[in-house]
A and B are shown apart, each in its own frame.
Chain A
Amino acid sequence: MRLELARYVVRAVDVGARTALENGCLVVAPDELRDLVLADRHLTAVRVDVARPGDRLRIVHCLDVVEPRAKAAGPGDVFPGFLSPPVTVGTGRTNVLAGAAVVSTGLYRELTDPWWSNREAIIDMAAPGATSPFSTTFNVVLSFDTAPGLGPAQQDQAIRLAALRVARHLARAAQDRPPDDVETCELLPCPDRLPRVVYISHLGALGSLYNTYVYGQSVAGSLPTVLHPNELFDGAIVSGHFRMASERHPTYDHQNCPVATELLRRHGHDLDFAGVIVMRNLADLPEDKERLASFTAKLAGLLRADAAIVSRDGGGHAIFDLMTTCQRCEQIGIKTGLLVSEQAGTSGTDISMIGHVPEADLMVSTGNLEEVVEMAAVDRVLGGSELLGGLGRPGDALRLPVRWLYAANSQLGRGHLTARTW
């Protein structure tokens, strides 16, 4: 499986009459996107805005972020199972608008049980609140009106499809143009015996509006399976969960999965990348947690892994999926390292996770959700006219824990947070 990722670096974004990519500037045509999106009768209106790094602007009610990508050659299409049949992707050539991002926003308001409604998720484009990884991308921000009478799940699916369509449409502007660089991604057999490393990506599925999709299908009820990293780069994993903002895994982060990317780059040099195991986490039943973790460790063993890197998805009892996976891998001789966020209180000294196992002797923190971030007043707010959960007025200067900042604690490791000792 050989994939060329052709990168077109986007250094500016603007609004115009026709979609275009000129000298690193992505021109977005709202009318064109409107026609594209409103072909789906579930959506009745779409607003298109752009947000640039440094703009005194705040995006609220973030649902998902998608990187514009389109297939230039090869079987299938990006986001298989959503925009095309679920044929295996990851071969051929894919155009990437690197530095650009499609941000979908919305609010599933009519939900009767607030526990399942979506939670606030904020991207500040200007310092000092620019803590989200998407504070530094050139963003195309979409907000929608949905047709009357639709339930939350239907609204969610319509908005997800719209964001994916827009991302593909924008990337098609790069067709037949010379890219800034091309990266070839493949897993050739290693001539030497190198440590064989598997990447285990936990994918959250907790119920309605908390889902992750592989080839268009929710991972709820699924057993772990194996993917080639190239499939991630072609959008095989799509996000659909709207709870704790800073711990969400946007589709963008799966497309740009830092662990898979780094392991692939080091493949054949100092390690042998065995592939990606995707495992549903946050199962409700203790026996399901055991089944999922045990199957994952077994697959890692069948892939002849010497070591595993596991990234958690979400919080709460997801820690036990993480710890059980770690324990089952270690028990069959696979050295395991974990990527996990912390809830360590505003001072950072509280107990940061609600459980652990002795085998978890290598953990990398992706930051403390409770760390407080100062956010300046902004001139414009996109995505909504309020902040959910009584966090304040949306345009004001705010002082919030990082938990409300979209994907800022990404347990896939794509965050901007760093630690400092003094």
Chain B
Amino acid sequence: MVVCSAIPAIPMSVGVSRTFQGKAVGYLLGDPGLPLAEEKALRARLTARALATLSADVSEPTLFSLE
């Protein structure tokens, strides 16, 4: 499982194995400040990266981000 959160301290404090850094409390996988085409591309990148973390090997609660 991967939990996407703008505040990783929450899932990590309860022992979630994979946490993915979301953009903001109000919009985890996007950025409404961007032009729509750019935002859609960002959404796709964030979602793909979040999915990719599912296959990462972890031994303790670990934080992943887009970069």
Contact = CB atoms under 8 A, between A and B. Distances in A.
Interface of A: 284-286, 289, 317, 320, 323, 354-356
A355 B7 CA distance: 10
B9 A285 contact: no
- Interface residues of chain A: helix, strand, loop or mixed (majority): loop
B13 A284 contact: no
A323 B10 CA distance: 12
Interface residues of B, number: 11
Given A317-B6, A320-B9, 4 more contacts: A284-B24, A284-B26, A317-B7, A323-B9
Contacts of A354: 10
Contacts of B6: 284-286, 317
Contacts of B10: 320, 354-355
B63 to A, nearest CB: 11
B13 A317 contact: no
A289 B24 CA distance: 10
Q: Which are the 5 A-B pairs with shortest beta-carbon distances?
A: A284-B24, A284-B25, A284-B26, A285-B24, A355-B9
A235 B23 CA distance: 36
A317 B27 CA distance: 14
B39 to A, nearest CB: 15
B26 A286 contact: no
22 contacts: A284-B6, A284-B24, A284-B25, A284-B26, A285-B6, A285-B24, A286-B6, A286-B7, A286-B21, A289-B7, A317-B6, A317-B7, A317-B25, A320-B7, A320-B9, A320-B10, A354-B10, A355-B7, A355-B9, A355-B10, A355-B13, A356-B13
A323 B13 CA distance: 13
A356 B13 CA distance: 9
Contacts of A317: 6-7, 25
Nearest to B7: A320
Contacts of A284: 6, 24-27
A357 to B, nearest CB: 8
Interface string B1-18: 000001101100100000
B7 to A, nearest CB: 5
Q: Which of B10, B21, B25, B27 counts the most A-chain CB atoms under 10 A from its CB?
A: B25
B66 to A, nearest CB: 13
B7 A285 contact: no
A343 B9 CA distance: 18
Contacts of B25: 284-285, 317
A320 B21 CA distance: 15
Contacts of B7: 286, 289, 317, 320, 355
A205 to B, nearest CB: 13
A355 B12 CA distance: 10
A347 to B, nearest CB: 20
A285 B23 contact: yes
B33 to A, nearest CB: 10
A176 to B, nearest CB: 51
Contacts of A285: 6, 23-25
A221 to B, nearest CB: 13
A284 B26 CA distance: 6
Contacts of B26: 284
Nearest to B6: A286
Contacts of B13: 355-356
A60 to B, nearest CB: 29
Nearest to A282: B25
Contacts of A355: 7, 9-10, 13
B28 to A, nearest CB: 11
Q: Which of B6, B7, B26, B27 counts the most A-chain CB atoms under 10 A from its CB?
A: B7
A253 B21 CA distance: 37
